[in-house]
Chains A and B, each alone.
Chain A
């Protein structure tokens, strides 16, 4: 019986890690869907959002230095959201606008540059030390689950899962049922046709980058609360790559399911296969899984089928 509980804990903890991956992957999917750009800077955007949020809250930040007070959490989060929207606008004005109709690889290179700029900017503005982010999400194990089911699960992870679920539902409705959502999908499908019905590409790109900036903020909050705001956060974004390969680059549900599979897969592999090969499987298992997918199902689980006409 004890063994089953342990297995269950491993799976649940994997699911929760998966949710975190999914949050980062979601940001990638949004931008890729609407513009075909693989946004390498997505992870850094999450880092940047977390840094900015910390700055509003902490007494050693710029905000405190300038205004002499810190913001309460309920105000700091929308303020950071606003910063992400402004960031999206600046990116559109200074980078994307000049790259319309360019090859995707060029846009991809531009986002790599963007990642370095943002990371440098974050370093200069906020410093590179690890910052504890506490916005009042309950920490530690859930006593209730521990008492009643003898399960050890972090409250933070439950909170993250709930947030991700809400986020996905909101995004799904937004994409499927609103004019701007339709316009976003239209732009993703065919730029020219979208223009012909009066969709403004500039505006759509600002919106897409804003939305994915806000998703990055949510991801930044979760990761920051879990392990502190640190620059290695931008590396976690690389874990989103296998998630995307599994789920398909254009699918919101795919990002979630892909994240969960990777999360659970790497935890199970670590626990059950790890000891046989000396451990630390967790670090590369996701990439192996992605490789297998690339061989057998390159469009991912939910991606649009790749049909080549010959």
Chain B
């Protein structure tokens, strides 16, 4: 929990329902994310966690419900608006630009902070060049922060899995996000890598006051770093609260142990 945490709501999803054909991915899900907190979304496979993140950053458009972000309510987000509004994310299956270097990948994260017109960019002089240099500087800070100086110029397709995850986090951080969505940032990592990643997430939260929504399967990590947890199962919210409350909740235990639903 950071000092900057208040009770101010940053994002609220209200009665969100999302289905694909006959498949109900999310059913009447409501919860909020407060400014400055680490909010974890947990649940068994197929519970709708990733769908929820996709709704928040506008990849999926829910059929019902409203999303209120920074006080502005809407039926659905659009990816471009979400990014422009300060929502950045990482993906469950790493989605980096494989042919590009670490540096260039993280530079794309600055996209929403760069505005000089195509005309200046084509000439690559004056304002566009200055803008490029300023943003490059910021990206170097991100690279230092994540301790990946040694792979700055390496095409990311060649990096090992753990480092790719870190570059992806870097790309999201480069956007200086207000809300950072992390979809299983520690999946497939060894213990040491997980500890590094947890440290980066907590430092991001502490130092920059970035609000974080986190999907993670490693319960140890979730219990350690979350302020509050929301639990989904079969597209429905079955519990929420502090890590301790959630851990003691019978429905949650049943969901994880696979008690039958009928």
Give A contacts to B, CB under 8 Å: 170, 173-174, 177-183, 185-186, 188-190, 192-200, 207, 304
Contacts and interface: CB of A to CB of B under 8 A. Distances in A.
A78 to B, nearest CB: 13
Contacts of B104: 182, 185
A174 B88 CA distance: 26
B137 to A, nearest CB: 15
B132 interface: yes
Nearest to A305: B157
Contact of A196 (B83, B114, B118): B83
B124 A179 contact: no
Which of A177, A178, A194 has the most C-beta atoms of chain B within 10 angstroms of its own C-beta?
A178
Interface string B105-135: 0011111101010100110100010011000
29 contacts: A173-B124, A174-B124, A178-B121, A178-B124, A179-B110, A179-B111, A181-B121, A182-B104, A182-B107, A182-B111, A185-B100, A189-B99, A190-B98, A192-B91, A192-B95, A193-B91, A193-B95, A193-B96, A194-B97, A195-B59, A195-B79, A195-B80, A195-B83, A196-B88, A197-B83, A197-B88, A197-B109, A197-B171, A198-B79
Given A178-B128, A179-B132, A193-B91, 19 more contacts: A170-B122, A177-B124, A179-B110, A179-B111, A179-B121, A180-B121, A182-B107, A186-B100, A192-B59, A192-B91, A193-B97, A194-B97, A196-B83, A197-B109, A198-B79, A198-B80, A198-B83, A199-B111, A207-B118
B108 A197 contact: yes
B112 to A, nearest CB: 4
Mostly, the A contact residues are helix
Interface of B: 57-59, 79-80, 83-84, 88-89, 91, 95-100, 104, 107-112, 114, 116, 118, 121-122, 124, 128, 131-132, 171, 175
A174 B95 contact: no
Contacts of A174: 121-122, 124
A180 B99 contact: no
B109 A190 contact: no
Contacts of A186: 97, 100, 108
Nearest to B107: A182
A195 B97 CA distance: 12
A181 B99 CA distance: 13
Contacts of B110: 179
Contacts of B83: 195-198
Nearest to B57: A196
A186 B107 CA distance: 11
Given A178-B121, A179-B121, A207-B118, A190 B96 contact: yes
Nearest to A199: B111
Contact of B112 (A173, A193, A198, A207): A198
B59 A190 contact: no
Contacts of B89: 196
Contact of B95 (A178, A181, A182, A190): A190
Nearest to B79: A195
Given A190-B96, A190-B97, A192-B59, A197 B121 contact: no
